[in-house]
């Protein structure tokens, strides 16, 4: 399939149309005092698209998520895949910098990027298509006893994680990327999510999930942490600077959770709900004392609490991950008197899921007290290529070095 025939046809018309549209906007009358109004700081906020690593991973979580899984269409060969990567990278770079992508007829829709990031991940099937060896860990996430996985939330060939602090911009970016790639890939699923609104809490504060708990307290924070836990630094050159993404869709039974008293909720989590501190501490980032006992000789932090079970064992300090979760809410389906249909799009990043996410989840699946209120219904795994280089402009695109390794 050709990579840019669509663009060649649209370029001239789009440029002239965009110029006309912008000229029309400039001639519009303005309301009294409009010139004195300052542009909201968020509207012009940018996250650098190019860099050693893809944006949207170490980036502070934005308020809105569109996670969209794609399957390559029948007949798309490895050259078609490379064309899709070039096309998508060029458009994503434009969108994230507040510039209209080539061929768009709605330039006014992209002028407020509001911290937009678009992150690309590749499933196992892409490596089969390219005919190159995949990372040894890139396969279906291992099965767990409590899983109730639904095929509709399963593995896809490609994933785009689109995050933004403005819901309109986020929706437009999703629409544009789907439309731009329509000749190469079709949508398999769309998972949408949210956290606290931009500006509603201090910058860098840990977001809460729908159980009311702070989610992500133990995330890596320093460059050294990310180098040790997240960024791939071994193996072929095309993989270095990339990372592994795991996606889990988790249904949360908020209806029964809310019947618990507050102390029971905190016991299940292992942390205070008000500020996220361990039950043995005072502040969110205090170290937990798993040996502490109360006046009755019972552990202050239950050994089966979510916090205790998820903590890395002393002999496996590598079992840490970067959590980037978002809550979701859908209409109740009416089953069993359901009052809400709430859950989490759990996204995490690491160097090797078989050594990080999977052993953590195996422990949680076995004994986490929160299991009574959680059901995992979706699962997928992806390789996220390293970042692109700004100096190369259009010549730097997602998975370029991987495609070159495949002889393209």
pLDDT tens by residue, 253-287:
999 999 999 999 999 999 999 999 999 999 999 99
How many degrees, rounded to 5, is the angle at CA 303 between CA 301 and CA 307? 65
CA 263 to CA 369: how far, in whole Å?
A: 14
C-alpha distances (whole Å) from 140 to each of 6, 155, 194, 245, 354 are 35, 7, 26, 12, 11
214-218, long-range: CB < 8 A, 24+ apart? 214/271, 214/275, 214/276, 214/284, 215/323, 215/325, 215/344, 216/61, 216/323, 216/324, 216/325, 217/271, 217/276, 217/284, 217/285, 218/310, 218/311, 218/320
Name the phi and psi angles at 147, rounded to 5.
-60, 145
CA 145 to CA 155: how far, in whole Å?
A: 19
**Which residue's structure tokens are 């040894």?**
136
Q: Which is more confidently placed, 28 or 344?
A: 344
Name the phi and psi angles at 139, rounded to 5.
-160, 180
Q: CB neighbours of 95 closer than 8 A, spacing ≥ 6?
A: 101, 110, 113, 116, 118, 173, 176, 177
Helix or strand (DSSP H, E) at 71: strand 64-72
Q: What is the predicted pLDDT for the residue at 236?
A: 95
CA 229 to CA 212: how far, in whole Å?
A: 27
CA 103 to CA 83: how far, in whole Å?
A: 16
Q: What is the predicted pLDDT for the residue at 395?
A: 87
Q: Is pLDDT at 362 greater than 80 in this prediction?
A: yes
Q: What is the predicted pLDDT for the residue at 186?
A: 98
* Cβ–Cβ under 8 Å, residues 86 and 18: no
Three-state DSSP class for 175? helix
Q: Would strands 341-350 and 185-194 be described as parallel, antiparallel, or unpaired?
A: unpaired
Positive or negative, the CA dihedral 59, 60, 63, 68 is positive
b/e burial code for range 153-169 (CB count within 10 A of at least 16 → b): bbbbbbbbbbbbbbeeb
Instruction: Quote the tokens at residue 19.
Output: 């110029």
DSSP letter string, 348-402: EEES-TTTTHHHHHHHHHHH-GGGGGEEEEEEEEEEE-----GGGGGG--TTHHH
Instruction: Quote the tokens at residue 378.
Output: 């979706």
To the nearest 10°, the Cα dihedral for 92, 357, 270, 197?
10
Q: What is the predicted pLDDT for the residue at 277?
A: 98
| pTM passes above 0.85 | yes
Q: Is pLDDT at 11 greater than 50 in this prediction?
A: no
- How confident is residue 9, by pLDDT bands cut at 50, 70 and 90? very low
pLDDT tens by residue, 379-389:
999 999 999 98
**What pairs with residue 162 in β-bridges?**
66, 118
CA 80 to CA 94: how far, in whole Å?
A: 21
| Phi/psi-derived region of residue 371, left when phi > 0, alpha when psi is between -120 and 50, beta in every other case | alpha
Instruction: Quote the tokens at residue 21.
Output: 């549209």
Task: Give the distance from CA 376 to its chain's centroid.
Answer: 17
pLDDT tens by residue, 187-243:
999 999 999 999 999 888 999 999 999 999 999 999 999 999 999 999 999 999 999
* Cβ–Cβ under 8 Å, residues 376 and 250: yes
**Which residue's structure tokens are 């398999």?**
188
Q: What is the predicted pLDDT for the residue at 38?
A: 54
Q: What is the predicted pLDDT for the residue at 233?
A: 96
């Amino acid at each position: 399939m050709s990579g840019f025939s669509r663009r060649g046809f649209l370029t001239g018309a789009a440029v002239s149309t965009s110029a006309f549209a912008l000229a029309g906007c400039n001639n519009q009358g303005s309301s009294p005092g409009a010139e004195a109004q300052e542009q909201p700081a968020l509207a012009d906020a940018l996250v650098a698209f190019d860099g050693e690593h893809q944006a949207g991973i170490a980036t502070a979580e934005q308020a809105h998520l569109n996670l969209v899984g794609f399957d390559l269409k029948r007949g798309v060969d490895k050259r078609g895949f490379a064309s899709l990567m070039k096309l998508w990278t060029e458009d994503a770079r434009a969108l994230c910098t507040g510039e209209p992508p080539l061929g768009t007829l709605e330039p006014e829709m992209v002028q407020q990027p509001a911290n937009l990031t678009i992150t690309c991940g590749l499933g196992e099937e892409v490596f089969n298509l390219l005919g190159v060896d995949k990372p040894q860990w890139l396969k279906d996430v291992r099965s767990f006893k409590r899983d109730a996985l639904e095929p509709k939330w399963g593995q896809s060939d490609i994933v785009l994680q689109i995050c933004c602090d403005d819901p309109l911009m986020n929706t437009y970016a999703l629409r544009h990327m789907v439309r731009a790639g329509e000749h190469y890939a079709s949508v398999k699923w769309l998972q949408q999510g949210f956290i606290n609104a931009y500006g509603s809490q201090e910058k860098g504060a840990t977001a809460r999930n729908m159980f009311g708990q702070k989610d992500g307290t133990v995330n890596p924070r320093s460059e050294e942490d990310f180098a040790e836990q997240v960024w791939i630094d071994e193996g072929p050159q095309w993989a270095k600077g990339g990372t592994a993404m795991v996606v889990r869709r988790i249904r949360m039974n908020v209806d029964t959770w809310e019947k618990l008293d507050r102390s029971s909720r905190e016991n299940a989590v292992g942390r205070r709900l008000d500020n996220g501190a361990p039950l043995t501490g005072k502040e969110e980032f205090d170290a937990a004392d798993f040996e502490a006992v109360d006046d009755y000789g019972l552990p202050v932090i239950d050994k089966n609490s979510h916090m205790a079970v998820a903590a890395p064992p002393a002999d496996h300090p590598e079992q840490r991950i970067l959590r980037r979760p978002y809550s979701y809410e859908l209409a109740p389906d009416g089953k069993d008197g359901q009052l809400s249909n709430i859950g989490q799009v759990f996204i995490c990043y690491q160097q090797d899921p078989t050594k990080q996410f999977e052993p953590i989840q195996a422990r949680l699946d076995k004994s986490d007290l929160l299991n009574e209120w959680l059901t995992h219904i979706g699962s997928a795994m992806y390789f996220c290529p390293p970042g692109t280089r700004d100096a190369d402009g259009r010549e730097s695109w997602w998975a370029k070095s991987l495609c070159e390794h495949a002889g393209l």
